[in-house]
Copies of this chain bind each other. A is one copy, B any other.
């Protein structure tokens, strides 16, 4: 007998039929002799519908009241899923976030979990109930209802799995697992049997954003074994864990890309100490996320440097830079918007020199010039022009022996909270 945490996202419980299918799936797990704790998100469009209603009453609703409103979405899901399980002749108990013992910071809309007291979950399990917990929500010490923000329900599942020492935390979604790259671009993308936490973190933005980075970090930190699999079929998913058995010849596990990249270059800046701190301090203050930073060599006491941001934040970043001109003289500022970032990720890269060089070679063979490069121990990223993205991803996929004959991808991108 193992203890499973099974997490189902909003699209997996999007309507009555899907809800019934999920109930059946859970009962089957129990029939195999396992204990089941289920974490569930709000049904399909519920969250958006609630937001629409709120906006009609207040274009800028207070975060506390939004949490009060939004948490009803998961409460509806847990009650209905419990009823569906009862209809199959099994006993289930639904618990809201606060009932399941989730304590959070006193922050609304994006609280972090501070503590989990899973006594009620455990005692319900010990009475042979299937336990159904509302994802995405918790309560402060003062009894205020909070939501966890980005990656919410995945984080609920992983944190609960850690707290109750579950054997496995299964994330059910609408794709079969983690792919070597986005199957919408590369038809012969392969589903990975397993992947390390670090690789998963790097790939987290790959394709359909199957797992939220925050949940992966939590899993890594608490050593919770994750399995990502489909709620629509019985295919084996992808295991995400600390150590993975590196396949023969597989140095790169996956290829990720980001289509919304802008580059900003500041040219002819006086090269005095503290220049970079001043620029990136001002950008951070404006809540702008900066990704890759490259500084060129200094000439005549002047330096050029470039950085990338998301396309959406490019204009704001330019404003911030222009605002600095009086304090920090520079010759010119330029921006390029039609860029993408392509990355190869693999734990095996550390022990295989020349992997990055091969990447540059493959990209140049496609007649594409590389604008910026960034490396880490398990990742190499190149910023290139957008027009050639798909061609480059396919070439890299082939070059790193990731192509497969089978085409197993099912479903579209998942709507999630």
**Which residues of B have CB within 8 Å of A245?**
none
A325 in contact (CB, < 8 A): no
> What is the interface residue range for chain A against chain B?
35 or more
Which residues, 45 to 99 on A, are CB-close (under 8 Å) to B? 50, 53-54, 56-59, 61-62, 64-66, 68-69, 71-72, 75-76, 78-80, 82-84, 86-87, 92-94, 96, 99
A274 in contact (CB, < 8 A): no
What would 19 more interface pairs be, CB under 8 Å, given A68-B75, A69-B79, A99-B143?
A16-B56, A19-B57, A20-B57, A53-B76, A53-B80, A54-B79, A54-B80, A57-B83, A57-B87, A58-B87, A59-B87, A62-B86, A65-B79, A68-B78, A68-B82, A72-B72, A75-B75, A99-B145, A120-B143
A162 to B19, CA, bound (A): 43
* With A72-B72, A76-B72, A99-B143: A16-B53 Cβ-Cβ less than 8 Å: yes
**Which residues of B have CB within 8 Å of A86?**
58, 61-62, 65
Candidates B57, B83, B94, B96; contact of A84 at CB < 8 Å: B57
* With A16-B57, A20-B57: A50-B65 Cβ-Cβ less than 8 Å: no
**Which residues of B have CB within 8 Å of A143?**
99, 120
A84 to B79, CA, bound (A): 28
Distance between A88 CB and nearest chain B CB, rounded to angstroms:
9
**Which residues of B have CB within 8 Å of A93?**
64
Which residues, 1 to 47 on A, are CB-close (under 8 Å) to B? 16, 19-20, 23
In the complex, which residue of chain B has the Cβ closest to the Cβ of A50?
B76
**Which residues of B have CB within 8 Å of A58?**
83-84, 86-87
Could you pull out 22 A-B pairs where Cβ atoms are within 8 angstroms? Answer: A16-B53, A19-B57, A20-B57, A54-B79, A57-B84, A62-B82, A65-B79, A65-B83, A65-B94, A66-B79, A66-B83, A68-B79, A68-B82, A68-B96, A69-B75, A69-B76, A69-B79, A69-B83, A71-B75, A72-B72, A72-B76, A72-B79
The secondary-structure label for the interface of chain A is: helix
A64 to B143, CA, bound (A): 22
In the complex, which residue of chain B has the Cβ closest to the Cβ of A144?
B99
Q: Is the CB of A65 within 8 A of B82?
A: yes
**Which residues of B have CB within 8 Å of A61?**
83, 86
Each complex incorporates copies of this chain amounting to 2
Distance between A76 CB and nearest chain B CB, rounded to angstroms:
5
Distance between A206 CB and nearest chain B CB, rounded to angstroms:
35
In the complex, which residue of chain B has the Cβ closest to the Cβ of A56?
B16
A370 to B68, CA, bound (A): 56
**Which residues of B have CB within 8 Å of A78?**
68
A87 to B72, CA, bound (A): 21
Which residues, 295 to 318 on A, are CB-close (under 8 Å) to B? none
**Which residues of B have CB within 8 Å of A72?**
72, 75-76, 79
A185 to B206, CA, bound (A): 69
Most interface-central of A59, A79, A94 (chain B CB within 10 A): A79
A50 to B75, CA, bound (A): 12
**Which residues of B have CB within 8 Å of A50?**
76
Which residues, 171 to 228 on A, are CB-close (under 8 Å) to B? none
A76 to B16, CA, bound (A): 21
Distance between A52 CB and nearest chain B CB, rounded to angstroms:
10
Which residues, 223 to 243 on A, are CB-close (under 8 Å) to B? none
**Which residues of B have CB within 8 Å of A75?**
68-69, 71-72, 75
A66 to B94, CA, bound (A): 11
Distance between A199 CB and nearest chain B CB, rounded to angstroms:
39
A126 to B84, CA, bound (A): 44
A79 to B59, CA, bound (A): 14
